[in-house]
Structure 1
Amino acid sequence: MKQNRSLFSRFLKVHFLFIFFPLLVLIFFTAFVPDSNEKEMNMLNLFYFTVLLFGFIIVAFVVISWLFFMRLRKRLTGLQEVMSFSANNNSFPEPISVQTDRMDEIDQLGSSFNWMIQQLEGSRKREYEEELLRHRLIANLSHDLRTPLTILRGLITRLNKESMSFEGQDSLAEMNHTITRVGDLMDDLLSYTLLSSGKHPFHPTSTDIVRLVRASVAEWYPAFEEKEIQLDVDLPTENTFYWEADPKWMTRVLDNLFQNILRHAAEGKYTNIVVDLEKELIIVADRGPGMDNSSYEGGAGIGLSASNYMLKKMKLKADFTSNENGTRVAIGRA
């Protein structure tokens, strides 16, 4: 950017004139003092004139400096207020006014600030459009892939009616299990996409946690029983505590944890569900192979990401402890 005028150059020029111009006048005046009997009186007058002149120079220097820095401070303060307003309100600031005919250092700073705002707004707009495109693409893929999965499941059902070896039946059962798993992963991906795009409504309210966990366990109990998983539940019968949370979102978080146990930790044949009133925690533990198992990592990542997103939105968190002896999840306040 071409610099037209310099604020500090003008400041130095004005101060140079106020300091050296009166001195030149004084030198010129003393050079032409007449040599007469009144020389002593003229010298006395010259002394007073010099004192007054230097006093004027000092006062003018202070006044001009004060006016300059007050004006400079006012312009910088205006720029700082615009920046602090955007920081406090989590929004982009409005462009500031710039005098293009002057374009000193402060105006150049304001012009660069306005250019930065334009670049950030353009970047945010592109990011928003890319996010919409990605969400639309994931939603369309999740919808379109259901058709071939449904066709494959129908073909497997038809093949099951045909006579075949035990190895063939096992292969068909594994194919059916894989199709179910892919469908569940697509559901998790679509759910996470809708959550991150704000399509799932969030309605926090004071929620009875013990009652919510009890209802969720009762709903999942038949599934655990079908897998022959021992369910060890320790829920308070009288006391409870409350979180400011969305009941539907909390239920989905628990559903994801229970579903992961059925998918990846059923071989442990044990699940422990505890509500700790003193620490205000929901604890879910199993005796599966742990999260380091490739099957668990490959199938639970998207669902856990969605759960973590919902917990963070509700100002909660999930602490995971996992090893070869099982996985423990403790949900509490963030």
Structure 2
Amino acid sequence: MKQNRSLFRRFLKVHFLFIFLPPIMLIFISAFFGVSDIHGKNVNTLNLFYVTVLLFGFIIVAFVILSWLFFLKLQKRLARLQEVMSFSAKNNSFPEPISVQADRMDEIDQLGSSFNWMIHQLEGSRKRAYEEELLRHRLIANLSHDLRTPLTILRGHVTRLNNESISLEGQHSLTEINHTITRVGDLMDDLLSYTLLTSGKHPFEPVSTDIGRLVRAAIAAWYPVFEEKEIQLEADLPADETFYWEADPKWMTRVLDNLFQNIIRHAAEGKYANIVVDVKRELIIVADRGPGLDKSSHEGGAGMGLSTCHYMLNKMNLKADFTSNENGTSVAIGRA
């Protein structure tokens, strides 16, 4: 950007004029008019001394006043720019462009012009990012929907082949294919759910929620599934005590469903699940005796499901602390 006028150069010019011009004028006047005759020499010298003192006093006062006015104007312009920046930081939004005098364009105006250009670039970047995010969500939703048809066709062929006379190895292969189809379907469901969630398709409606009652209802809904998988379920749910969180009941139920589903998918071989509502510490603890998160990764699906849980909990000002090893996994949900 071309610099048209310099604020500090003007400041230096004015102040140097006030410093050097009056003494030069004093020297010039004293040289031509200072001593007119011998009899008035003492009077003229005294007058010249008073004039010199007065002139230097005027220079000092003028220098202070000009400096004060300059820095006061400079401080006001910088404070206006700082106010715009701090307002945007507090409100988590882009600031409004500031006014710039194109005919002046000193250093402060150039700073303001660069600031306005930065705002324009950031707004353009945010718009492009928003459009790309919408496109990504639309693409994932369409893919998740379109892939269900071939999976359904594959499952139909597997069912037909199960009714045919084939060897034991063939039966085993069909079982693995059917299991893989189910796993891919679950992955697609998790991916679609996460996409819809992050795009705001699932409304967030926090209310004061009885956590003990919510966990009890979730366990009751999943108890037949645990029983079918022969998983021993231990639940420590105080009957007379509870605590409340400002949370969305549907989202909290979704989080618990995801954790219970992970036990069924990845820790069923441990044949154990423990669910605790700790009223004193205000915690929900879900534990299993599976192989741990690291060794269950071959099943897939846990990563996207856990990402969904973390996103929901973060929106509700909650957090999940995972402790996992070869003896099992424990998840403690509490306040962030």
Shorter-chain-normalised TM-score: which range?
Answer: over 0.9
* Per-residue Cα deviation, 1:221-251 (whole angstroms, up to 9, x for no partner): 1111111110111111111111111000000
Alpha-carbon shift at residue 270 of structure 1 (Å)? 0.6
Query: Is the contact made by 2:266 and 2:296 (CA closer than 8 Å) also made in structure 1?
Result: no
1:316 is matched with which residue?
318
Residues 1:251 and 2:241 are matched in the alignment: no
2:103 is matched with which residue?
101
Alpha-carbon shift at residue 171 of structure 1 (Å)? 1.2
1:166 is matched with which residue?
168
2:191 is matched with which residue?
189
Matches within 5 A, 1:100-139: 100-139=102-141
2:55 is matched with which residue?
53
Query: Is the contact made by 2:162 and 2:171 (CA closer than 8 Å) also made in structure 1?
Result: yes
Query: Is the contact made by 2:190 and 2:301 (CA closer than 8 Å) also made in structure 1?
Result: no
Matches within 5 A, 1:228-239: 228-239=230-241
Secondary structure, aligned partner of 1:63: helix
1:23 is matched with which residue?
23
Q: Distance in 1 between matches of 2:206 and 2:98?
A: 39
Q: Distance in 1 between matches of 2:61 and 2:50?
A: 16
Alpha-carbon shift at residue 100 of structure 1 (Å)? 0.9
* Per-residue Cα deviation, 1:159-199 (whole angstroms, up to 9, x for no partner): 11111112211211111111111111100000001111111
Give TM-score scaled by structure 1 length: 0.99
Q: Distance in 2 between matches of 1:69 and 1:278?
A: 59
Query: Is the contact made by 2:210 and 2:243 (CA closer than 8 Å) also made in structure 1?
Result: yes
297-306 or 269-278, which deviates more: 297-306
Secondary structure, aligned partner of 2:208: strand
Closer, same or farther: CA 94–276 of 1 in aligned 2, 3 Å: same
2:205 is matched with which residue?
203
* Per-residue Cα deviation, 1:253-288 (whole angstroms, up to 9, x for no partner): 000001000001000011111111111111110000
1:4 is matched with which residue?
4
1:300 is matched with which residue?
302
Query: Is the contact made by 1:290 and 1:296 (CA closer than 8 Å) also made in structure 2?
Result: no
Q: Distance in 1 between matches of 2:105 and 2:308?
A: 51
Q: Distance in 2 between matches of 1:169 and 1:219?
A: 33
Secondary structure, aligned partner of 1:35: coil
Closer, same or farther: CA 297–321 of 1 in aligned 2, 3 Å: farther
Secondary structure, aligned partner of 1:164: coil
Q: Distance in 2 between matches of 1:175 and 1:297?
A: 14
Secondary structure, aligned partner of 2:301: helix
1:67 is matched with which residue?
69
1:217 is matched with which residue?
219
123-132 or 28-37, which deviates more: 28-37
Q: Distance in 1 between matches of 2:13 and 2:150?
A: 81
Q: Distance in 2 between matches of 1:149 and 1:298?
A: 17
Return 5+ residue gaps in structure 1 as ranges: none
Alpha-carbon shift at residue 35 of structure 1 (Å)? 3.0
Secondary structure, aligned partner of 1:309: helix
157-166 or 61-70, which deviates more: 157-166
Return 5+ residue gaps in structure 2 as ranges: none
Query: Is the contact made by 1:264 and 1:296 (CA closer than 8 Å) also made in structure 2?
Result: no
Q: Distance in 2 between matches of 1:301 and 1:97?
A: 49
Task: Give the number of equivalent residue pairs.
Answer: 334
32-41 or 192-201, which deviates more: 32-41
Matches within 5 A, 1:136-147: 136-147=138-149
Query: Is the contact made by 2:187 and 2:300 (CA closer than 8 Å) also made in structure 1?
Result: no
Amino acid of the structure 2 residue aligned with 1:48? Y
Amino acid of the structure 2 residue aligned with 1:16? F
Alpha-carbon shift at residue 297 of structure 1 (Å)? 6.9
Aligned-pair Cα RMSD in Å: 0.9
Sequence identity (%): 81
Give TM-score scaled by structure 2 length: 0.98
Amino acid of the structure 2 residue aligned with 1:47? F
